Structure 1
Amino acid sequence: MKSISLTVILAAFSLAGCASTQKVLSKAPTEVFHSEKSQNEVAFCLANKNNTTPMDRDDGSKVVLLKNGYGGVSLAFSVFKEADGSRVEYRKQFGTIGGIWKQCVGLKSEA
């Protein structure tokens, strides 16, 4: 019985540390990229490579969220229309990610 209670308490603490969508999106961007690819193309690519769906926001951006196993947001990409391409604001809350997403923005991934 004590082990079950301890497990529940540890799970509650780990979930409390998860970042909410609003918390991550309200942070300043970790990096900003400019792409020749359209907003829709970049958002679709990011979502497709991460098995998720882009969300339309009132500010005109398309947001792609990457979540950890507990449902907390690890990374957020906000994609805005910009001239003939797009601007991508990348926000990192925690965790690591491979470089394949850079292909979506038009950057080469790390070798």
Structure 2
Amino acid sequence: MKRFSLIFGAAAVVSGCASTQAVLDKAPTEVFRSEKSQNEVAFCLANKNNTSALDRDDGSKVILIKNGYGGVSLAFTVFKEGEGSRIEYRREFGTVGGIWKQCIGLKDEK
């Protein structure tokens, strides 16, 4: 019985890991607009989450926040829009702090 629980638990964890493309193909959870430039927002998001911004062929920058198992928990796609930027936020699962809101000019609610 203990072995079954362990196998079932491991399968549940692995099935919860979303691939990068699956998350990026989803409709955005929310869309934000910022007066900050695309580069400034992307750098801030990457820096605060200890990751890198990935350049896409369409000119956007993608920042992926992964869980401890390598699955994508959050994905940010940052587009240049006029003098500022448009940020598409996709939330797959998990809880992640709201420090990223500072990067786009939102205040973290407490």
Q: How high is the TM-score relative to the length of structure 1? A: 0.89
**Residues 1:18 and 2:17 aligned together:** yes
Of the structure 1 ranges 3-12 and 69-78, higher mean CA displacement relative to structure 2 is found in: 3-12
CA distance in 2, matches of 1:14, 1:86: 35
Deviations 1:33-68 (A, max 9, x none): 000000000000000000000101111110000111
What amino acid sits opposite 1:95 in the alignment?
A: G
Matching residue of 1:45:
44
Of the structure 1 ranges 2-11 and 86-95, higher mean CA displacement relative to structure 2 is found in: 2-11
Matching residue of 1:86:
85
Unaligned runs of 5+ in 1: none
Matching residue of 2:108:
109
Matching residue of 2:94:
95
Residue 6 of structure 1 and its aligned partner are, at CA, apart by: 7.0
Residue 16 of structure 1 and its aligned partner are, at CA, apart by: 3.0
CA distance in 2, matches of 1:61, 1:10: 37
Matching residue of 1:76:
75
CA distance in 2, matches of 1:76, 1:17: 15
Unaligned runs of 5+ in 2: none
| Greater than 4 Å deviation, 4+ residue runs | 2-10
Q: Report the count of equivalent residues.
A: 110
Q: What's the RMSD between the two structures over aligned residues?
A: 1.8
